[in-house]
Copies of this chain bind each other. A is one copy, B any other.
């Protein structure tokens, strides 16, 4: 009997940003956040877990074929031990269950992201780990309960346990027991919503988000005001999503991205994630929105220079055309959603003022990824497993 599970988990990109912890050990955030889960057809982390009493003692983990040390009391270790504890509780109640909690684990995880896309993989990676282990252990916990564990692995990972539109409630409890993710609307709710990821080149090494967010909490004079503003933004964007009110959704998304980066800039020493290309993408979207009379697209930036542009399917062709015009990408769009025929025919809004946007040389944007809103973690077939017979990764780095 082989005890094994393989699960893939999606990337999520926040519209209301997570930035700051009020408990750094338990990863309890200073504010609630909200994200959209992107389709796993394009971007995903896949993780296989296997438990086997014949394995040598101690758990082992490979990321993209390269072994990573599971540091005791480290974030990955905490997630594994918490899930094992839940499994052990089940085994104690039902002595007929195989004692998986006693067996060493072998874990292989793989991100399918385009090389050097500069996309954060910790959210999808930790979500895939937690989902695959809970599947292996046949845990009865709901995704929201699992999100309590995933959160401790990597804060925003908790939101990758759901598809669609997902809120992470900061919670009130000091032990973090109510700081969990919940679905605001499923991926089927607003199928017109799409995303375009603009992968931006950068020569600087960014401040890690873990270090950056605590520096903001400790030194930014403006940060506390953001915390005052987020609750009303959360209410407003949830209502916009429920009503499929793109205009409100877009305004709140852009405002919160800007407020987040403003708090980074207000940190001592200041943290910069956006660069001149990022700023020009903002300028382009602002000009398109102005020309359109109301927002047709919303930009948002995480802890790096890449832009994620949320827009509706009907506007996506003009957005892609505009981005390709002003930021000729180094690589052609991998057109899995067959949008290029519409891009060729698309026209800019009449009032669009091209002179207000800086045109960049080819390669300032490396490439584009066009994708949709997607579902939560997917349990995969046995043959998709990433471990070979002896419990090592099939594909090595």
A282 and B270 within 8 A (CB): yes
Residues of chain A at the chain B interface (Cβ within 8 Å): 203-204, 221-222, 224-226, 229, 251, 254-255, 258-259, 261-263, 265-270, 272, 275-276, 279, 282, 286, 290, 358
Which of A203, A226, A255, A290 has the most chain B CB atoms closer than 10 A to its own CB? A255
CB-defined contacts of A258 to chain B, threshold 8 Å? 265-268, 270
Given contacts A225-B222, A225-B224, contact A266 B259 (CB under 8 A): yes
Which of A203, A251, A266 has the most chain B CB atoms closer than 10 A to its own CB? A266
Question: A276–B364 Cα gap in the complex (Å)?
Answer: 14
CB-defined contacts of A272 to chain B, threshold 8 Å? 279
Nearest chain B CB to A308's CB is how many angstroms away?
16
Question: A222–B272 Cα gap in the complex (Å)?
Answer: 18
CB-defined contacts of A282 to chain B, threshold 8 Å? 269-270
Closest 4 CB pairs of A and B: A225-B225, A262-B266, A262-B262, A222-B222
CB-defined contacts of A270 to chain B, threshold 8 Å? 258, 282, 286
CB-defined contacts of A265 to chain B, threshold 8 Å? 258, 261-262, 265
A221 and B255 within 8 A (CB): yes
Q: Which residue of B lies closest to A258 (CB)?
A: B270
A222 and B259 within 8 A (CB): yes
Question: A229–B270 Cα gap in the complex (Å)?
Answer: 17
Question: A263–B223 Cα gap in the complex (Å)?
Answer: 11
Nearest chain B CB to A280's CB is how many angstroms away?
8
CB-defined contacts of A226 to chain B, threshold 8 Å? 221-222
A358 and B203 within 8 A (CB): yes
CB-defined contacts of A222 to chain B, threshold 8 Å? 222, 225-226, 229, 259, 262-263, 266
Nearest chain B CB to A268's CB is how many angstroms away?
6
Question: A203–B255 Cα gap in the complex (Å)?
Answer: 25
Q: Can you identify 12 A-B contacts, CB atoms within 8 angstroms?
A: A221-B226, A222-B222, A222-B259, A251-B268, A258-B267, A262-B262, A262-B263, A262-B265, A265-B265, A269-B282, A272-B279, A275-B276
Q: Which residue of B lies closest to A279 (CB)?
A: B272
CB-defined contacts of A203 to chain B, threshold 8 Å? 358
Nearest chain B CB to A212's CB is how many angstroms away?
14
Q: Name the one of B204, B229, B261, B267 contacting A358, with C-beta atoms under 8 angstroms.
A: B204
CB-defined contacts of A259 to chain B, threshold 8 Å? 221-222, 266
Question: A337–B154 Cα gap in the complex (Å)?
Answer: 55
Q: Which residue of B lies closest to A280 (CB)?
A: B204
Which of A259, A265, A267 has the most chain B CB atoms closer than 10 A to its own CB? A265
Nearest chain B CB to A115's CB is how many angstroms away?
24
Nearest chain B CB to A387's CB is how many angstroms away?
39
Question: A286–B219 Cα gap in the complex (Å)?
Answer: 15
Q: Which residue of B lies closest to A290 (CB)?
A: B269
